[in-house]
Amino acid sequence: AQTVTQSQPEMSVQEAETVTLSCTYDTSENNYYLFWYKQPPSRQMILVIRQEAYKQQNATENRFSVNFQKAAKSFSLKISDSQLGDTAMYFCAFMKHVVEYGNKLVFGAGTILRVKS
């Protein structure tokens, strides 16, 4: 079974600064997807960034980027130029790469990020 670990329950960052959220996972699969989801106070889950395990290049989406270390099974999220709207709970998630319906997401426990002005 796959597990996802987020070891930072809460973090805070000053507006405009950079913060990195940690995530490690355990799997015996070789092909899989990794995701970072954001859940703001509205509680709507929003996809932040996606990484496919077979791609060596780290994914980036504007101010969000990941450091994907496949051998170390590490998938950290870096948020640059933090904004007040980035305040949210962030979940790291794993999904097996299987071409079938019903692929499940396995979530980490989450990290609450607070951006301070």
Cα 113 to the chain's mean position, in Å? 12
Q: Which of 20, 45, 76, 114 binds another protein (CB under 8 A)?
A: 45
Closest CB to another protein among 39 and 65? Answer: 39
Q: Which two tokens stand for residue 69?
A: 């270390």
Closest CB to another protein among 5 and 18? Answer: 5
* 43 contacts another protein (rule: CB under 8 A): yes
* 11 contacts another protein (rule: CB under 8 A): no
Compute the 3-state secondary structure of the chain and give helix, strand, coil in percent, each to the nearest 5.
5, 50, 45
Look at residues 57, 60, 56 and name the one whose alpha carbon lies nearest to residue 78.
60
* 42 contacts another protein (rule: CB under 8 A): yes
Residue 99, Cβ neighbours under 10 Å: how many? 5
What are the residues binding another protein (CB under 8 A)?
A: 33, 35, 37, 42-47, 50, 89, 91, 95, 97, 99, 101-105, 107-110, 112
